[in-house]
Amino acid sequence: MVGHVESAIEAVRTALMEPGDPIEVAFSLPRNSAEKILELLEAEGRAGAVVVPVKEQFTTTEAARMLGISRSTLMKLIDSGEIDSVKVASHHRIPAPAILRYEKARTESQHRTAKALEEFAHDAKEAFQNNVTFGKQS
């Protein structure tokens, strides 16, 4: 299996040395490696950016740092069921997909909120302009 992975790496490196886009590469991979590549490409297609976790599960401190929130906020999200976790002895571990799901949901929520605020501002501006007259009134 290692031989397949090494030859695939070499094939991609060689193809990247050539000019042009897209590149074409053919190689054989173990099923597990192919599944990881598929997951990576699907994530890039959905989000436009890819975060590749090095491990499958993260400590609460690591997950909080990745999400840019405090550990206590993360624990509240775990307790409320917004973020999945696994108990290892008395400690919580957060699976990488749970972190990605929460981040995606948070980003989508922020986009919806920004759109709603833009619509509100537009409606408020129109209402103000329709109800206020400037200048001399007779």
Q: Looking at residue 54, what is its pLDDT?
A: 67
Q: Are 85 and 92 in contact (CB under 8 A)?
A: yes
Q: In which residue ranges of the chain is pLDDT below 70?
A: 1-2, 47, 49-54, 134-138
pLDDT digits (tens, 9 = 90+) for 99-110: 999 999 999 999
Domain 53-130 CATH (choose: 1.10.1660.10, 3.40.50.280, 1.10.3720.10, 1.20.140.10): 1.10.1660.10
Give the DSSP H/E element, type plus range, for residue 77: helix 71-80
Do the Cβ atoms of 34 and 62 come closer than 8 Å?
A: no
Contacts of 30 (CB under 8 A, 6+ apart): 1, 4, 5
Euclidean distance between CA atoms 65 and 103, whole angstroms: 12
pLDDT at 117: 94
Question: Which residue has 């400690």 as its token pair?
Answer: 91
Average of per-residue pLDDT values in the chain: 86
Which segments of the chain belong to CATH 1.10.1660.10? 53-130
Tell me how crowded residue 29 is: count the other CB atoms within 10 A of its CB: 15
Q: In this structure, are residues 56 and 95 in contact, taking their beta carbons and an 8 Å threshold?
A: yes
